[in-house]
Amino acid sequence: MRRTVFNEDHEAFRQTIRAFIEAEVSPHFQEWFDAGMVPREFYYKLADLGVFGINVDEEYGGAGIDSHKFEAIQSEETARAGVNFGGSGVHVLLGLPYIKALATDEQKQRYLPKFVSGEEMWALAMTEPGTGSDLAGMKSTAKLSEDGTHYVLNGAKTFITGGVHADRVIVCARTAPPREDDRRFGISLLAVDTSLEGYSVGRKLDKVGLRTSDTAELAFSDVKVPVEDLLGEENRGFYYLGQNLPSERWGIAYGAYAQAAAAVRFAKEYTQQRTVFGKEVASFQNTKFELAACQAKVDAAQAVADRALEALDEGELTAAEAASAKLFCTEIAAEVIDRCLQLHGGYGFINEYPIARLYTDNRVNRIYGGTNEVMKTIIAKDMGL
């Protein structure tokens, strides 16, 4: 479909990312897949490429560009190649918005240069065992010390993407009990240095998909977090989380669309190369119809993802619009990838084929960032239902 979201600068960046993937990612990806994570030094290569600093102000070593379109291109190009950049996505898509919106000038001076250089990789720790999407029910606590110099952090988190390699984690914890009329009150955000005593990384979780993305359990035992690492105002953390959820959900929606587009590409190439009964699989009417139907769905998902991208860049993407984009694109991707795997036959079930990895990687899109059932609730509420 004709697109208007990208200009010549974006397309030049696309070629740079594509060349980088061909040289630095694809030759090693199977090794990373088997290991269950990318090596830590890979993030320095991404930093040298400049991808961590695109949306960071120039005074901190970034490019000073206020746009998510470069992130969108990365999603498209990694999906196209059947690879990913490990847990680095949360560093930019989840970590950076909180720093930009909440950090003081002093904090930005400490955080952002290391963020851009890859010296400090960031992650976001919200989910706890037993809470899931009910963030207001979190049990982790951060009590202010008597002398007011630090918080004492205790608790545990799970499903933390980038948790193994993270050097600093934005931890959501209770600094005050909830109010009777507001369960969300009392949560604060702390930018925790992972080298602090009492901070520990538990299991690296063995996931069905996204195997190169390090996802971990975290534990905090009397971790002394300096008050200088409080992000934003105390007790307003839930509000801040809500402010950033639309961009997170856009990222999931866009990634899902990109995966669906890649699945069609993989299926088309495979069926043109594979022969059955002396004929290319692509020559059979069923194959043509299946691919055509999938392409039409990808076109629709692309339009939704691009519209959400434009709204996000303009600062106008609402919670309901982001929920709608996530719901639509992830459901479409699930259907398209499943149908494209079917066209691969038995080989679609073998991990050396990118369609198999797409199939498992895609499944979590309907779960994280808020389940699709939660998305429906948000949309219904916006409809006045």
Q: How sure is the predictor about 183, in pLDDT bands with cuts at 50, 70 and 90?
A: confident
Residues 252/326, Cβ–Cβ less than 8 Å: yes
Rounded to the nearest angstrom, the gap between the alpha carbon of residue 105 and the centroid of all alpha carbons in its chain is: 26
| Per-residue tokens: 128 | 């706890």
Cα–Cα distance, 81 to 74 (Å, whole number): 11
What's the whole-model pTM score? Answer: 0.93
291, 288, 297: which is closest to 256 by C-alpha? Answer: 297
Check whether 87 has a pLDDT greater than 90.
no
Catalytic residue annotation? 248
Secondary structure element (H or E) that encloses residue 276, with its range: strand 275-276
At 100-115, the pLDDT tens digits run 999 999 999 999 999 9
Specify the residue for token string 């065992």.
129
Check whether 98 has a pLDDT greater than 90.
yes
Specify the residue for token string 């369960």.
183
Helix (H, G, I), strand (E, B) or coil at 179: strand
Helix (H, G, I), strand (E, B) or coil at 75: helix
Helix (H, G, I), strand (E, B) or coil at 328: helix
CA geometry: angle 226, 113, 243, nearest 5 deg: 65
Domains of the chain (ranges; CATH) run: 6-115 (1.10.540.10), 120-233 (2.40.110.10), 237-381 (1.20.140.10)
Residues 20/49, Cβ–Cβ less than 8 Å: yes
Cα–Cα distance, 348 to 103 (Å, whole number): 46
At 201-230, the pLDDT tens digits run 999 998 999 999 899 999 999 999 999 999
| Per-residue tokens: 109 | 């001076």
